[in-house]
Amino acid sequence: MAGVKYTNCCFCNIQIKDIDSNNAQPLADDRCCGDCNASRVIPARIRASYMLEQMYKHKKNIKEVLK
């Protein structure tokens, strides 16, 4: 297919189709492959949402949550 754009995973550097790439936020302002998304980005998002929950629920600031 013409017009398919490729990009490189920002973690493992393999080439992937742009439409198959994933947003690497909050780890990087870049694109990553499905494997790195599952092994790195999703766990980081889970940790981030857990930290936010701790901050809101227990009125802790970010320094207390990161201890």
Contact status: 11 vs Zn ion (CB under 5 A): yes
With a CB cutoff of 8 Å and minimum separation 6, the contacts of 46 are: none
Q: Is 24 in the site for Zn ion (CB under 5 A)?
A: no
In the chain, where does DSSP find H-type helix? 34-36, 42-57, 62-65
Count residues binding Zn ion (CB under 5 A): 5
Contact with Zn ion (CB under 5 A): which of 21, 22, 27, 36?
Answer: 36
Of 5-13, 17-25, 42-50, 59-67: span binding Zn ion (CB under 5 A): 5-13
Residue 40 C-beta-side C-alpha neighbours within 13 Å: 18
Site residues for Zn ion per CB under 5 A = 9, 11-12, 33, 36
